[in-house]
Structure formats: C-alpha cells, structure tokens
Amino acid sequence: MLATFVIFLREGVEASMIVAILLAYLNRIGRREHFRDVFLGVGAALLLATAGGVVVYETVRSYDGSRVQTIFETATYLLAASVLTYMTFWMRRHARSLSKELRARTDAALDGRARWGLGLLAFQAVGREGLETMVFTLAIIFSTSTAGALSGAAIGLAVSLGIAFAIYRLGHRLNMARFFTVIGVLLMVFAAGLLANCIENLQQLGWLPVLNAPMWHSSRVLSESSAFGDVMHSFFGYSDAPTPLQLLIYVAYLGVVIVAYLGILARSGSRADRQQAAAH
C-alpha cells in the first residue's frame, strides 16, 4: 500500500502538473475553449494505460505460480527499477525548464490544428506517466497483495489531484523542487527494493547461483507474509531470508544513486545561486 501510494502520488503530481501548466497557460492567453481538447487527450491516455495494465495483469495471472510468472515478474522488477531511476534524474534536470517547454509546445499546437495538437500534447505527456505507472503498479502487485496495492494507489491519486489543484490555483508559490527531491529519494529506496526482489527471483530460478545462501532467517520476528512485513517487502525490499548478493546489490545501488542525485542537487543549487548573483 505504501509503495503504490508514493508511486501514484509522484506520478499523479507530475502528470497533473503538466495538465495544470497547460490549462493555466490557455487560461492566461484567453483560449479556454481548448480545455476540452486537453481533457480528451488526458482521458485517452489514461484509458490506454489502464486497459494495457489490465490485459497484462490478467494474462500473467493465468500463469499463477509457474516459472513463466516468475520470469515475467523478474523482468518487470528490473524494468521498473530502471525507469524509476531514469525518470527521477530526468525530472531533477528538467524541472526548471518544464513549464517553458510546455508553453512553447502549446504555442506551436495553437498555430496549427489546435484541437488535435493540444489533445496529442496532453496525450503524450500524460500517456508517458500512465505507462510508467502501469509498469510500477504491476511490479508492486506481484510483490504484495492486490487489494493493498490498489488502496494505496487510490489514496495517492486523490492526494496528487489535490496538489494539482493547488498548483493550478497557486502556481509558483508551491515549492515543487523540494517535493520532487523528497519523493525522488523515496523512489530510489523503492527501486533498490525492486532490484533486491529481482535478485531473489534470479537466484530462485537458478540463473544467478552465487552468494545465494541466506544470511539469516527473521520470519519469527517479522515475516514477509505479515501485514507489516508485506509493506516492508513491497517498499523497502525486506526479506526474512536475505542472501549476501541481495544485500550487496541493495546497498551498492542506494550508495551510487543517492550520491549522484545529491551531487546533481548541489550543482543545481550552485548554478541557481550564480544566476541570481549575476542578476543582481
């Protein structure tokens, strides 16, 4: 539940922020008649992502408990961790210029066939977030209970819509950079857990027969099958019988990406300070 809450909160805020920027700009230039075109693009993107997720889930569920499902889960964990890492760093680098880029693309759409152009712009922007969310949700559902994952998703989506409304109404007075920094660190912790789950599956499949002897058994203290253990497993990659390779990959990944992420933050802050000093 916690994992899907954070995922839907982050992805929902990013997608909603894009839509809010588009609507705010259209409202500012007096083109509110194109709001409907933006909403049509958003609706089509959400429908496509949801339908794709349902089809994939139902297909994989038909192989429940089989080797095929384990292989698919492993690929999903690896893909989700890779995309999470990439999008976190991408958003950090492009957050400052996102609004400017969207306004420029909106102007280009309005210069041409506005209805199709704006609808396609909204579809592309929200569709990318929707497909990413679909992959992450599948990875979480495979590692936790479906009901808990969907509950967290619903709450995260509701909170993200509230934040989106605040973005639309308050604009630059919200500190979105700080929000994405905190969420970015949380998502990298989640990605480390996905990689640990991926290693666990690869060792169970016999494809990675190295450092695969459990270091300890903590199921009596906290079992993965318990409610709290399920949350810890789905978000932090907790295992009640971890192998040395799982722990090594988990720690190494977090060490590398967090140092790199904080390094980007420091460089961005220094650049902003230099620009501000130059302006004065």
Residues 91-116 pLDDT 10s: 777 666 666 777 777 777 776 555 56
Residues 45-88 pLDDT 10s: 889 888 888 888 888 777 777 888 889 889 988 988 898 888 77
Residues 183-217 pLDDT 10s: 778 888 888 988 998 999 999 999 999 999 999 99
d(CA 159, CA 198): 30
Angle at 96 between CA 94 and CA 98, to 5 degrees: 60
Q: Give the H/E segment covering residue 233.
A: helix 227-236
pLDDT at residue 146 tops 80: no
In the block, which residue shows the tokens 């992959």?
Answer: 135
Residue pair 248/256 in contact by the 8 Å Cβ criterion: no
Q: Containing domain of residue 169, as a range? A: 2-279
Residues 103, 108, 114, 120, Cα dihedral to 10°: -80
DSSP string, 31-100: -GGGHHHHHHHHHHHHHHHHHHHHHHHHHHHTTTTSHHHHHHHHHHHHHHHHHHHHHHHHHHHHTTTHHH
How many domains does one find in the chain? 1
* Best CA proximity match to 272, nearest among 69, 81, 96: 96
For the chain, give the mean pLDDT. Answer: 79
